[in-house]
Structures are given as C-alpha cells and as structure tokens.
Structure 1
C-alpha cells in the first residue's frame, strides 16, 4: 500500500481544519463554563467531527447528489457562514452571545450545560469551522482518489486521529485562555474573526469560479 496519498491526506486535512488557529474561537465560546462542562463540550465536538467526516468520506458524493447540491454550491454556502461568523467575532458580538448563554444555563448540571452549549456551538465552531466546505471537499476528493480498500481504511484512521487531536487541544484550551488573558484572548479572537471572514470570501470566490467556469466561452475572450 502506497503511504504517500495517506500522508498527503493527513497534511491537507490538518491544514484545512487548522485546530490550533481555531482555538481562540472555542476558548471565547466556552469562557465561564465549569471544567466538567468544558470537557463534555470538547468530547461532543470531537465526536461530531469524527462522525460527520466519516459520513462524508464514505458517502459524501452520494449525499450531495441526492440533494442535488454541487461542491461549488456547498463552498459558497459555507463561505457565507464563515463570513458572517468572522464579522461577528471582529465586532465582538460572539462574546456577548456567550455571556447571554451563560446566564441561561447557570442552574443546569454540567452535562445539561454542555449539551446546551454544544447545540449553540454547532454554528460556527462545529460547522463550518471544523466540518466545513474545505474539510468536506477534502475528504470527498481523497476518498475518490483512494486506490484500494486498505487506503480508504487508513484514511478513515487519519480522520479518527484528527478528531482525537482536536479533542486533546480543546481539553487544554482553558490553560491557553488563562495564558493569553482577557485582552490577549480578545485580540486573538478578533484577529481570527478577520481571518475567518477572509477564508469565507475565498470559499465563496472558489465556488463562484467553479460555477461560472463553464459559462465563459473561451472563443469570445
């Protein structure tokens, strides 16, 4: 079995998901949570990443074909979500939402609090930050290029390893947040918001470019 495609897949998936760069978003969203609730949220997000990427790895093309959605349209939709989330982070709106959510779940148990926070974190942390058009198109593309069942199983193991890596990073996010401090966290979050907005625009441009490519007649240029 050729290990080169598997290594390329691991490198591409890590670069697209960018768990280190996305940490400020998660830290900002879970500030003030009880430690047990934070651990539950990290586990829920890692499990969500694992299941969703596995589903799209094995059945991605069939799912998009069933709904009549192209990868280009998926990229545009994911780009819009990232753009809106990035604008909200730059303007400091995400921090206000977190404070409101903390007030609403203060009387719940750690597990109930984690479930409530996880539902609110699905957008934008779960989708499209970790499981977005970039990561989905990456797993679909490499699944189509896998030359054997052995390569497909190895790539599935890479997805599992990536989910575990994200889970471990999220577990230590509180320590990173304390290291950065309130001001450092706010600066990092706003910078990440700007980057997210730019990534969202790039996804939209890529999707629009693919959609309009066949509309242009080279003979008329």
Structure 2
C-alpha cells in the first residue's frame, strides 16, 4: 500500500495551526493555577487522552458517522462555528474558565481531586478549545481523503504527536507564567478570543457558501 506523505505533512501543519499549543497556555494556567505538579500532570494527561480519543474516533469514523446521520460537512461547519463563536466571546470577556475550588481535605486523594477538576474544565478546554469544531472538521476531511490503511495509521500517529506537543506546552505553562507574569497571558487570552471569533465566522461563511452557492456568485 502506498503512503500519501503529502497528505500527512499537510495534516500535521493544519493540526498544529488549529491546536496551536501556545494559545492554550493562558486557559490552562487559569484552570490549574495553585495546584501541585502531580495534580497538573494528571489533569493534563487526562484532558489530552480524552481529546485524542475523540479526534481519533472522528479521524477513522467521522465521515461514516456524518453519512449515517445524513449531515454534510457544510452543516457541520455552520453548527461548529456557532459553538466556537459563543466560546470565543466568553474568552474575550475572560469568563471562559470558571470552576469551584476542589476539595482539599487531607482524606481526599489527588486522583479524586483531579477528576473533580476535570469535570469542571473539560468543557471548554477539552471541547471546544482542543477537540473543537475546527479540529474535528479537519480530521474528518483528511480521514476522508486518505486512500489507504497505512496513510490513515500515519495520520493517527501525526495527530497523537501534535497532542503530545500540546501536552508539553500545557505542563510548562506555569513556568512560562512565572517568567512572563500574568498580564501577558491575560492579553494573549483576549487576543485568542478574537482569533476564535474570526475562525468561527470563517467556518460559518464556508458552510453557508457551500449550502447557498448563489451567495458566492453575487460577490
């Protein structure tokens, strides 16, 4: 079987651009600040493993699922764009990550505290920030364009590699915060919100143009 290396390299670039590990640091620092290293490692690992499972599922079965549900990619882009737009505004206002303090009772294990925090922050950090409409749409499209099992396997390996890069960025987030302070990270978070809004609008426009091709002809 022939491996489509061009498809794999393009997929790697696209996923790095969409996942953009450095943009996730402000949200991650807000979600894990004040916690011990073991807590942050377990929480980050749990979030990344869950996101990897979601994206790998859509990479392998996304196109089949959409066909079974009779949902085309245009509709998926419009719906996903709406979700991302709402989250972009919350990031811009600084209200994207809100959670209650975890139980710090001595009898509470680190794992139980991690699971408690995980339930609070997986939405939005896991979905839609990491495994969001942009990433899911991208993996579905590239999974559909794969013409061999080996190519799909290498696409999966590439996806895992990108998420490992993101994991390393998250784990170094507290160090970066100590070096830069909180203001640059807060500023980056607001800029990230503006970028998310722009991406959301672009997804919706692309979906609407495909659904209503006459709009494109007008321009």
Q: Determine if the TM-score, normalized by the shorter chain, exceeds 0.5.
A: yes
Correspondences of 1:66-81 after superposition (within 5 Å): 66-81=68-83
Structure 1 length-normalised TM: 0.86
Match of 1:88 in 2: 90
| Post-superposition CA distance 1:111-165 (Å, at most 9, x none) | 2222122222222211121112222222122222222222111111111212221
> Could you tell me how far 1:217 is from its partner in structure 2?
10
Instruction: Give the whole-Å Cα distance in 2 for the aligned partners of 1:64 and 1:24.
Output: 33
Match of 2:198 in 1: 198
- Contact 1:37/1:110, CA 8 A, preserved across alignment: yes
Match of 2:26 in 1: 24
| Post-superposition CA distance 1:171-211 (Å, at most 9, x none) | 11111122221222222222212222222222222222222
Match of 1:65 in 2: 67
Q: Aligned with 2:15: secondary structure?
A: helix
Which piece of structure 1 moves more, 165-174 or 22-31? Answer: 22-31
- Contact 1:24/1:192, CA 8 A, preserved across alignment: no
Match of 1:130 in 2: 130
Aligned residues: 215
Instruction: Give the whole-Å Cα distance in 2 for the aligned partners of 1:8 and 1:57.
Output: 15
Correspondences of 1:170-185 after superposition (within 5 Å): 170-185=170-185
| Post-superposition CA distance 1:2-40 (Å, at most 9, x none) | 422211111111112212222222222222333222111
Instruction: Give the whole-Å Cα distance in 2 for the aligned partners of 1:125 and 1:203.
Output: 20
Q: Aligned with 1:94: secondary structure?
A: coil
Match of 2:169 in 1: 169
Match of 1:155 in 2: 155
- Name structure 1 gaps, 5 residues minimum: none
Question: 1:217 and 1:165, CA in 2 relative to 1: closer, same or farther beyond 3 A?
Answer: closer
> Could you tell me how far 1:80 is from its partner in structure 2?
2.0
> Could you tell me how far 1:70 is from its partner in structure 2?
2.6
> Could you tell me how far 1:216 is from its partner in structure 2?
6.2
- Contact 1:89/1:190, CA 8 A, preserved across alignment: yes
Match of 1:40 in 2: 42
Match of 1:9 in 2: 11
